A and B are shown apart, each in its own frame.
Chain A
């Protein structure tokens, strides 16, 4: 199940996801005019933009929750057609939404395995659809420990957990399932400073495991700390992609607000430009 969890971190220039010229309209409203992104193996890509710039529509399309009108998505060079979230999950894209997608009334381990429960090894119980609780518990403990996620017990209902714990759990789940690509939507928005730090460290560990991360955030400092590159969206378009090391937060803010024009900045598909 998690055979890719500790994949080599080297393959630096390998493209994990290629989204090209994606658009989507709701009636007369153009939510996404033209969005493209090249995500490499083991990199953290920041995604920034003002409210209504199209970030969330773009994310929903990448996670299969919304079907695009035009454009293509390739994963590992293979063209994808996501009709529903489970398609994206199968293709190896894990999305952690702001609401964390945890079921409060269920335990940590149940949440981690939700939708992909391991069945019992006993053939008879397996036939009866009985799950292998022991195995799932063991495996979640291992992965959570490996990622440094501290929770009292995997059997505890997640309702009692802090925001940071919940966020970490949701992210760790991606790794446990061997996802190649993880999309994080404002993972630290509701967290305090120290909890945010925990989450950022976890993102760093994901990258170390060779996972590619798309990180939506409004926090430029955090992006500067953890992201490799940043893609800027404005008015439904991806207008620029920059290497974080090369730019200042002011530049990004200028791009977001339109103070810096897109055409003066890097062209849309900047994958070849920045290296």
Chain B
């Protein structure tokens, strides 16, 4: 903020002239640029794989990629809401996911109707978010540390209550998890809906404006009469509810899961968010770019399989991607801070 003030010239006198020299920093084009660059990288991956294996472009690949996108996509929306609102990162999302999934299958195993079980799962996620939010807001603590702690604590508590949880194999939710709609896995569609709804809400509702403002400049938002505590709490609860939906979907496709089952999502979700240009410094992010980013990351394991690379490459790719994503974020920050 301070750097941009040190300009002696008068912009009001000659706005056109200045506009030409200044880096065009329109929101739209910046979003397009991120979208285009990720789409381009994704396309390169698809083309490269197709060159080696022309049968890559198949309905099986489409199924594989869309299925892999589904749960991490919903979870990435939860993470994106936290990051955009200036909450840094929620490291406890994998625990939120499993907690919600556990709540869902426990409800089903106790004979509750499917819609009730789904609502319970989503509410469990929201409650988890509320716990994090309350500690962050009233303890005035760094959300990364808080969610790291609640993540560990939550895992420990869950381990006390169950070693593994199972969805009833004949339940509607389980059958839903095995089904398809319009040729794609059923669970893919809730992810698309969540991304669209959350994306529209962030850009076109008052609530979304306030989330972005709190993330972009909390003091400015406060000075405009936005209640920071309420907003932070609300974003944690909202993100928790989204993670709860991810948990419900997770329980539908995972016949048996342990308390630690969410850990596999941590890296891909954080990687997707950063790759999508959702800066860890908050206040900005486009969920449609996030969708591209998730799609790209979900294509990688399929490409590895088509290339026939040794399995350890999957781990190498994951680690490299995160480093690259963080590097890109740092570069973006440096570039825009000039």
Q: Which single member of B205, B217, B222 contacts A102 (CB below 8 Å)?
A: B217
Main secondary structure of the interface of B (DSSP, over half): helix
B284 in contact with A105 (CB, 8 Å): yes
- Interface assignment of A272: CB less than 8 Å from any CB of chain B: no
- Give Cα A168–Cα B219 distance, bound, in whole angstroms: 19
| Chain B interface size range | 35 or more
B205 in contact with A103 (CB, 8 Å): no
Q: Which single member of B7, B205, B212 contacts A131 (CB below 8 Å)?
A: B205
- Give Cα A193–Cα B22 distance, bound, in whole angstroms: 20
A164 in contact with B224 (CB, 8 Å): no
In the complex, chain A residues whose CB is within 8 Å of the CB of B4: 159-163, 166
- Interface assignment of B27: CB less than 8 Å from any CB of chain A: yes
How many positions in chain A have a CB within 8 Å of any CB in the partner chain? 55
Given contacts A103-B216, A110-B209, are A115 and B224 in contact (CB under 8 A)? yes
A101 in contact with B205 (CB, 8 Å): no
Given contacts A155-B27, A161-B11, are A100 and B1 in contact (CB under 8 A)? yes
A115 in contact with B226 (CB, 8 Å): yes
- Interface assignment of B170: CB less than 8 Å from any CB of chain A: no
- Give Cα A195–Cα B10 distance, bound, in whole angstroms: 5
- Give Cα A90–Cα B225 distance, bound, in whole angstroms: 9
In the complex, chain A residues whose CB is within 8 Å of the CB of B207: 129
- Give Cα A161–Cα B206 distance, bound, in whole angstroms: 24
B225 in contact with A89 (CB, 8 Å): yes
In the complex, chain A residues whose CB is within 8 Å of the CB of B11: 150-151, 161-162, 164-165, 195
B217 in contact with A97 (CB, 8 Å): no
- Give Cα A195–Cα B284 distance, bound, in whole angstroms: 29
In the complex, chain A residues whose CB is within 8 Å of the CB of B12: 148-150, 164-165, 168, 195, 198
Q: Which single member of B206, B210, B217 contacts A104 (CB below 8 Å)?
A: B217
B212 in contact with A103 (CB, 8 Å): yes
Given contacts A89-B225, A152-B19, A195-B10, are A119 and B206 in contact (CB under 8 A)? yes
Please give 16 more A-B residue pairs, beta carbons under 8 A apart, in addition to A100-B220, A152-B19: A99-B1, A101-B217, A101-B223, A103-B220, A104-B216, A114-B210, A114-B226, A115-B224, A131-B205, A150-B12, A152-B16, A157-B25, A160-B23, A194-B13, A195-B7, A195-B9
Residues of A within 8 A of B (CB): 63, 65, 84-86, 89-90, 95, 97, 99-107, 110, 114-117, 119, 128-131, 133, 148-153, 155-157, 159-166, 168, 190-195, 197-198
